[in-house]
Amino acid sequence: MELYELPLIDVAAKIEAREVSPVEVTQSALDRLAATEPLLTAFVTVTPELALEQAELAEKEIAGGHYRGPLHGIPLGVKDLYDTAGVLTTSSSAQRDTYVPETDSASVAKLHDAGMILIGKTHTHEFAYGATTPTSGNPWAPDRTPGGSSGGSGAAVGAGVVHVALGSDTGGSIRIPAALCGTVGLKPTYGRASRVGVASLSWSLDHVGPLSRNVVDSALVMAAMSGYDRRDPATVDIPVPDMVSGLADGVAGTRIGIPVNYYTEQLDPEAAAAAAAAADTLAGLGAELVEVTIPLSEHIIPAEWAIMMPEAAAYHQDHLRDSPEKFTDEVRTLLETGAAELATDYINALRLRTLIQAAWRDMFASIDVLLAPTLVAPATLRSDPFITWPDGSREAATAAYVRYSAPANVTGLPSLSVPAGFTSGGLPLGVQILGKPFAEPEILRVGYTLEQHTDVVGRIAPVAA
């Protein structure tokens, strides 16, 4: 078995025991990248020389007795929204095709401190404004979308190039590609981790987090990324919990909310079956299933878009004025629409979000976590990014995919997507576990329990050129 095929914790154990070197691990990742990249185009920029240089440094540190922990010597993919010192950071846009930051983003700096090794920057839907990432393919079916906006990260993890890649999530952009590419994706609580040095889509909806091969990997990386940062006023100054030690505690007595509305509407039957099977598995392990009604459900998506669009337009106002031709037509149209939104509509959307958040707090008084399908349907064709429903109607993939993922952004609650099965055509399906504010350890524990009782988590897509 190749090193890239092993679970991260197994590779970490070999590195700590000096059975393998970080250089060997990094070279294995680079070889896998070379085999898959012609079909997937998951990466904007690949940094093999820098990666091997960092790996050699890690090898020397470990040989000298300075082992930093289980992330030391592990290769990392980074969504191209994150600043990386001395490395091109384009946000997959012509607007930034020559931008080379001088410093690392907060998350990349923390993961470098943990000893991780940058092997490249992964594609995003331009400036994260979409859910399909047109530049990249799905590792399970390269003619289909990997989702977005963190599509390159999802493809890289799903293909086995890296164990972990960073994503960002404003309406579902970590969990959408996680579900479509058969990986784990964690969107933390709003305020858990700093977004400094990450290009913004919508400052009051943006979150940063990992996509990974399994739940333990996400727990390790999220813990390393988390913490207060005075440069990001949204971060909350509370202790970062141990996100790993309680994973195996099980779900006996855990009250799991099963929605009877919203997450049951306009839903692919195979996605519905996967979510039902996950609920049955957890119930069989001692969890209590509690039916809940999603409050104010008809207002969630209007609030999401009414907040996101003007905030995105405000962030890009200089580019929109000075060089609009450098945006793709799709993104420019969205930004122009956001710029035309009335201030009163934006303020009312913020007020509506407050009501939604309060209603969800009330709902969570009777449950510990909420279990739901991550997405309404599996991956669409890249050439035709629409979902066709049984009645013949067609829905744009971005609008459809965001529908189930956006509630966690509007509420700011943590949400973990884990693989839950495959369609009859071999495409991945996911379920998401939403929790109370800053309850990442709890949703990770539920996700880990599901992972241990399924054979679909941790699979690597058999893609190769």
Domains annotated for the chain, with CATH where assigned, are 3-297+351-452 (3.90.1300.10)
Instruction: Give the span between the Cα atoms of 215 and 252, in whole angstroms.
Output: 19
Q: What are phi and psi of 434, to 5 degrees?
A: -105, 145
pLDDT recorded at residue 148: 97
Active site (annotated) includes residue 79: yes
Instruction: Give the span between the Cα atoms of 305 and 410, in whole angstroms.
Output: 10
Q: Tens-of-pLDDT digits for all 465 residues of the chain?
A: 899 999 999 999 999 999 999 999 999 999 999 999 999 999 999 999 999 999 999 999 999 999 999 999 999 999 999 999 999 999 999 999 999 999 999 999 999 999 999 999 999 999 999 999 999 999 999 999 999 999 999 999 999 999 999 999 999 999 999 999 999 999 999 999 999 999 999 999 999 999 999 999 999 999 999 999 999 999 999 999 999 999 999 999 999 999 999 999 999 999 999 999 999 999 999 999 999 999 999 999 999 999 999 999 999 999 999 999 999 999 999 999 999 999 999 999 999 999 999 999 999 999 999 999 999 999 999 999 999 999 999 999 999 999 999 999 999 999 999 999 999 999 999 999 999 999 999 999 999 999 999 999 999 999 876
Instruction: Give the span between the Cα atoms of 374 and 172, in whole angstroms.
Output: 9
Instruction: Give the span between the Cα atoms of 162 and 26, in whole angstroms.
Output: 9
Instruction: Give the span between the Cα atoms of 269 and 440, in whole angstroms.
Output: 29
Q: Which of 173, 200, 218, 417 is catalytic?
A: 173
Q: Return the DSSP state at 37.
A: H
Active site (annotated) includes residue 14: no
Q: Which of 91, 105, 149, 202 is catalytic?
A: 149
pLDDT recorded at residue 465: 61
Q: Which of 79, 110, 121, 187 is catalytic?
A: 79
Active site (annotated) includes residue 21: no
pLDDT recorded at residue 1: 86
